[in-house]
């Protein structure tokens, strides 16, 4: 979701959640805050090249509206937190990590809008997903999050954990 001038853009998303089945659509639509109506976009901007939901639960791509092609993120992940600080897009954590028992990521990666390149940054102290990232001055705050992938039970010392959350709070200086 993004705002540009008088339009609020919605890109991708999910229309079906049926047990384990979830879809991911490519549709981009815009709400015009002046006319207070939804409107169609020109064909070149009406779809993202790949479906995604939960900020790309299983995708690892970044799309720029009206710019050809897709740019791969270093680490494909979904349910991540992202924000823009300065001339960079910062991304934190996420889920659907096949390499860990918890299914969550601790990755921090930034996309530079000028160089069009991704940089891999220092890992998060507590891997998690479903958090949010907000910028105040030169700091990015990332409060809380889920400690294991949604729907996943994690057994630690014989005790099963499900929907375990954290009150851990990251302050990331840019
Ligand atoms: C938004 O709606 C207004 C009123 O109908 C229209 O004049 C304007 O061109 C629309 N904006 C865009 C970006 O299409
Ligand atoms: C679940 O949360 C508790 C309390 O915050 C923590 O001690 C425990 O390590 C967590 N378990 C997992 C699997 O993350």
Ligand 2 atom with the shortest distance to the CA of 102? 13
Q: Compute the distance between CA of residue 86 and CA of residue 104 in angstroms, rounded to an integer.
A: 27
Separation of CA 164 and ligand 2 centre (Å)? 6
| Closest to 173 in 3D by CA, of 86, 115, 111, 77 | 86
Q: What values do phi and psi take at 25, rounded to 5? A: -95, 160
Atom of ligand 2 nearest to the CA of 156: 13
Residue 90 pLDDT greater than 70, yes or no:
yes
| Residue 12 pLDDT | 86
What is the number of the ligand closest to the CA of 36? 1
Q: Which tokens belong to 148?
A: 């294991």
* Pocket of ligand 2 contains residue 161 by CB under 6 Å: yes
Distance of CA 20 to the CA centre of its chain: 20
Note the pLDDT of residue 15.
86
Give yes or no for residue 34 CB within 6 A of ligand 1.
yes
> Does residue 142 surpass a pLDDT of 90?
yes
Ligand 2 atom with the shortest distance to the CA of 166: 5
Instruction: Report whether 53 contacts 27 (CB < 8 A).
Output: no
The two tokens of residue 99 are 């390499």
How wide is the angle at C-alpha 129 spanned by C-alphas 9 and 147, nearest 5°? 160
Q: For residue 127, what are the β-bridge partners? A: none
Residue 43 CA to ligand 1 center (angstroms) comes to 17
Give the global pTM. Answer: 0.77
- For ligand 2, atom 1, the nearest C-alpha belongs to 164
Tell me which of 2, 3, 5, 6 to substitute to probe ligand 1's pocket, judged by most ligand atoms within 8 Å of the beta carbon: 6
The DSSP output letter for 25 is -
- The 10s digit of each residue's pLDDT in 29-74 is 999 999 999 998 888 889 888 888 776 565 567 766 656 556 788 9
């Amino acid at each position: 979701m993004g705002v540009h001038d008088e339009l609020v853009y919605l890109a991708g998303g999910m229309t079906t959640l049926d047990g384990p089945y979830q879809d991911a659509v490519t549709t981009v639509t815009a709400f015009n805050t002046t006319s207070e109506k939804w409107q169609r976009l020109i064909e070149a901007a009406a779809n993202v090249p790949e479906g995604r939901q939960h900020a790309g639960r299983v995708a690892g791509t970044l799309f720029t509206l009206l710019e050809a092609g897709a740019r791969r993120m270093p680490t494909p992940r979904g349910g991540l937190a992202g924000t823009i600080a300065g001339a960079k897009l910062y991304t934190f954590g996420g889920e659907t990590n096949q390499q860990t028992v918890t299914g969550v990521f601790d990755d921090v990666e930034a996309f530079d809008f000028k160089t069009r390149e991704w940089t891999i940054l220092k890992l998060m102290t507590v891997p998690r997903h479903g958090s949010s990232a907000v910028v105040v001055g030169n700091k990015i705050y990332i409060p809380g999050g889920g400690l294991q992938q949604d729907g996943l039970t994690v057994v630690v010392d014989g005790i099963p954990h499900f929907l375990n959350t954290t009150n851990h709070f990251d302050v990331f200086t840019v």
